[in-house]
Structure formats: C-alpha cells, structure tokens
Chain A
Amino acid sequence: MTDAAADAAVLRRIMAGESDAFAILVRRYQRRILRLGYGFYHNQHEAEDFVQEVFLKAWSGLASFRGQAAFSTWLTRIAYNTGINGKRVYRHHETLDNDPLDAAALSIEDAQLRREAVGHLRKAMLELPARYQICLDLFFFDGLPYQGISQVTGLAVNTIKSHVFRAKSCLRAALAKELA
C-alpha cells in the first residue's frame, strides 16, 4: 500500500467516527511539521506549539479535504500557510543539521558522508532567498516530490526543479572532489 493509500484508509476510519485514528497521521507527519516549525520559529518551544496548531487546523478542516492532493501535501500546505500567515520567514534551521541522530548507529564512513552532504546542502540553501530554502528542505530532508512542493508553496515546478538541480549538482561535485 502506498503512503497516500494508507493515509486515505486512515481518513476513512476517522470520518466513520474513529477519532483516535488521527494519532496515526500525527505520528506519521509530526517530524516534517516540526522541521517546518523550526524553520519558521527557530526554537523548540514555539516549533512544538506550531505542530499542535497545524494538526488542530487539519483536524477541524478534515471534512473539507477532498483528496485532490495527497493528505501529506495538504497537511504540509496548512503548515506552510500557518507559518507564512503568521508573518514568519522560513529559514533553513542549521542546528538541526548538527544534532545527533536518533539511535541510528551509522558506520564512521556513513556518518562522515552525511555530515559532508548536509554541510554542502546547507551552504547551497543559505545562499538562496527564504522562499526557495523551504523547497530544498522539503526535497532533501523530507523527500517531497517537485509536484508536492509546488502544491505546498505555490511556486512553479520548473523553478523548484532548477533550484534542486543546482543544489544536487553542487553536492555531487563536492562529493566527487572528496572521493578523488
């Protein structure tokens, strides 16, 4: 079952009266929303308040979700609009890059590769205006496809593609240099 189909199944359960099933969606997407919260507020306390606000908005608007986009995209758009309407500017949150990873025991080589990759992406991102930083964050750290990022931010797919393309080329060149 794809993520979208799994989400749709959970949504049907919620609409049939099983409110507790909403927790499945919260657990599935809280990290992405929390990352956005860090980008908009730059501190943990407000980022967590942001997550709660976004999920409550999603809950109360659930009946208006018509399924034209994936639930994850719809939810991310609520988060994006909540941040932007709160007069917040999204900036890639650097401290998240340096935080240790949860129990994932990486080999020394993988840990090194991750550090390098994240460092290069961060550099590429901080050179961009804020509204493009969120695109790269969603692409590289959340795995959202071009179309999804476009639906969230309202930016044209080709614009997003070209920024991702440039960041990926920089990353690839940097990794190749280190390999040589």
Chain B
Amino acid sequence: MNCVDFLVALDALDAQAGSLSALPIAIRHHAAGCPDCRLVLERQARALALCRLSPISLQKDICQRVMTGVLFAPRPQPVMPLRNWLAAGIVLLAAAMVSPLLHDYRLLQADYGNSFIIPLTLVLGAAISLYMLVFVGSHLRDFSTIWRRWLSSHR
C-alpha cells in the first residue's frame, strides 16, 4: 500500500472503524512505517471523534416527559412469529386429514358405524375456524399493510 492508496482506504472507512485499534491491518501497517500518513490518520480520527461530542442543546434529558406519555399508552403485547402461526395451522390441518387413517378411527367406525363422523367433523371444523379467526384477527394490521403495498404497486 502506498500513500495514495492509504488515503483512499482511510476515507472509505466505515463509521465503526474510527478507533485506531479497530483499523484494518493494511492501514495500520502503512501508518506504522510512514510518519506523514500516521499524522494524517491520527488527526482525522481525532477530528471525527470530536465531531461526535454532543452540543449542550442535545444534552437535555426528555426521558421523564417521554415516560409520562408511555405510562398512558397501551403496553406492547408480545407477538407470536408468523412461522409459528403457519406451523400451528399446518399441524391442525394435517391432524384433520390424517385422522381417518388412524387405528382408533377404524375402531370407532366398527363400534358406531358412520354416526360419529358428523360430530368429529364439526369439532375439527370448529377448531380450524377458530384458528383462522384468531390468526386473521391478530394480523389485521399486517394484512392491511400488504394490501396497501399491493395497491400502490399496481396503481
């Protein structure tokens, strides 16, 4: 790395790489052997660190005011990730589809004929409906966001 490459690499550094110890090895290596570049590096790092100091108008603590508002707002409710919802739905659907193949189903069919099928179907149908209701109800905001996005992309 020559001095020109060094300066280019220095200007391209990301914000987190500001501290001297976090610099890429090539930059540190060149700076160690080149007093002029080392001076530039140190001065720039110092200048950037000084820029991060907050002026007095930003030092105001507005936390109390914000927290007063927060106490009157509803608490954030933990949400179940979408993949858990989908997994639960798939399990429920699979259970409904697999149940006629089970040994117990055949035993019940042998004992009661086909008369138990209607109550069983009702129970499974109710479970799936309940699931759909809760799923849609708890994701109304997500659905409306998707819908608005779709509308704006097709306008």
Q: Is A48 in the interface zone, CB < 8 Å from B?
A: yes
A22–B47 touching, CB < 8 Å: no
B57 touches which of A23, A44, A60, A118 (Cβ 8 Å): A44
B43–A55 touching, CB < 8 Å: no
A23–B67 touching, CB < 8 Å: yes
A60–B73 touching, CB < 8 Å: yes
A63–B67 touching, CB < 8 Å: no
A31 touches which of B7, B54, B65, B78 (Cβ 8 Å): B54
What is the CB-to-nearest-CB distance from A143 to chain B, in angstroms, rounded to a whole number?
5
**A52–B63 Cα gap in the complex (Å)?**
9
**A176–B10 Cα gap in the complex (Å)?**
14
Give how many A residues have a beta carbon under 8 Å from the other chain's beta carbons: 60
Interface string of B57-75 (1 = CB under 8 A from A): 1111111011101110111
Give how many B residues have a beta carbon under 8 Å from the other chain's beta carbons: 44
Q: Is A102 in the interface zone, CB < 8 Å from B?
A: yes
Residues 2-37 of B contacting A (Cβ, < 8 Å): 7, 10-12, 14-16, 18
Chain B residues whose C-beta falls within 8 Å of the C-beta of A20 in the assembled complex: 67
Chain B residues whose C-beta falls within 8 Å of the C-beta of A171 in the assembled complex: 44, 47
A172–B66 touching, CB < 8 Å: no
Which B residue sits closest to A144, measured CB to CB?
B15
Q: Is A9 in the interface zone, CB < 8 Å from B?
A: no
**A25–B53 Cα gap in the complex (Å)?**
19
A143–B15 touching, CB < 8 Å: yes
What is the CB-to-nearest-CB distance from A174 to chain B, in angstroms, rounded to a whole number?
10
B62–A48 touching, CB < 8 Å: yes
Residues 85-122 of B contacting A (Cβ, < 8 Å): none
A19 touches which of B65, B70, B78, B141 (Cβ 8 Å): B70
Residues 10-39 of A contacting B (Cβ, < 8 Å): 14-15, 17, 19-20, 22-23, 26-27, 30-31, 34-35, 38
19 residue pairs A–B, Cβ–Cβ below 8 Å: A19-B70, A30-B61, A34-B60, A38-B58, A52-B66, A55-B69, A60-B76, A63-B78, A63-B79, A96-B58, A100-B55, A101-B54, A101-B55, A114-B50, A114-B53, A143-B15, A161-B12, A171-B47, A175-B40
7 further A-B contacts with Cβ under 8 Å, apart from A34-B62, A117-B51, are A26-B62, A44-B57, A55-B69, A110-B50, A143-B18, A168-B10, A169-B11
Query: Which 6 A/B pairs are nearest by Cβ-Cβ distance?
Result: A99-B55, A62-B76, A117-B47, A114-B50, A168-B11, A63-B76
